[in-house]
Amino acid sequence: MTIKSILSRVSIFDSFSPDQLGEVAGLLSEKKFKSEENIFLESEPGKNFFIVSQGRIKIYKMSVGGHVKVLDYLEVGDFFGEMALLDNTSRSANAVALTDSTLLILKKEDFTSLMGSQPELLLQIARTLSARLRKADIEIEMLSFSSVKKRLIQSIYNLADKYGEGTPEGILIPREFTHQDISELVGTAREVVSRVLRELKDEGLVIADGRNIFVKDLNRLLEEIRD
């Protein structure tokens, strides 16, 4: 996959012509990260804008006590790191490669220059930030008012819907999403996730076999979330 073809999948470049995408491609460098390798840490100065070219990235926060809360998982065509460049502050979260990954990197000065020459880019970024804020509002509401079971069902639904692979047993959630990863997404202990997964298995909603999690029916999960 060429850099231009990857850029064509990035939402903020939807309105760019092939020539404009070529201009952006010329500003990018490429860097590979091993699985579990840090990309940046919270409070570090923001120097670059990142686009996922290959692999999967985890964005997360860590409390003083070492508890992890996953904010998002990103895949090919997703971008991150723009907030610290827009407001000239430090990183507000951590980023780590969940799998072996390749990132396209745009330096801060090139990012700023590009926004100045392409005003529609700033509008697209604003729309993305608005969507992320709405998602955060929903998550805050779930953390405040929903049970761990319902939050887990929501997280499994999201993972299966976005990353799942169809199999005869059901929709398989990729193996790199461990029980620990899911617990950090839900905001609870891994042991609690394992216990609730057993409950969902008994209820016929999922098949949990070791590290494999199969969703038998996405619509049934959705009904549980709305109930």
Residue at a domain's end among 73, 103, 137: 137
Residues 131 and 152 in one domain: no
The rounded distance, in Å, linking the Cα atoms of 24 and 111 is 9
Question: Is the same domain home to 22 and 120?
Answer: yes
Q: What is the pLDDT of residue 137?
A: 87
Per-residue pLDDT at 3? 93
The confidence score (pLDDT) of residue 118 equals 87
Are 45 and 118 in the same domain?
yes
- What pLDDT, in 10s, does the model give residues 161-179? 989 999 998 999 988 888 9
Residue 184 and residue 93 share a domain: no
Domain with residue 39: its CATH number is 2.60.120.10
Alpha-helix runs per DSSP H in the chain: 3-7, 18-25, 82-86, 108-117, 119-145, 148-163, 179-186, 190-202, 218-226
Same domain, 164 and 113: no
Q: Identify the pLDDT of residue 143.
A: 81
Q: Are 148 and 186 in contact (CB under 8 A)?
A: yes
Domain count, the chain: 2
Q: What is the Cα–Cα distance from 156 to 163, expressed in whole angstroms?
A: 10
Supply the range of the domain harboring residue 192.
146-224
| Segments of the chain with pLDDT less than 70 | none
Final residue in a domain of this structure, among 86, 105, 137 = 137
Residue 156 is predicted with a pLDDT of 94
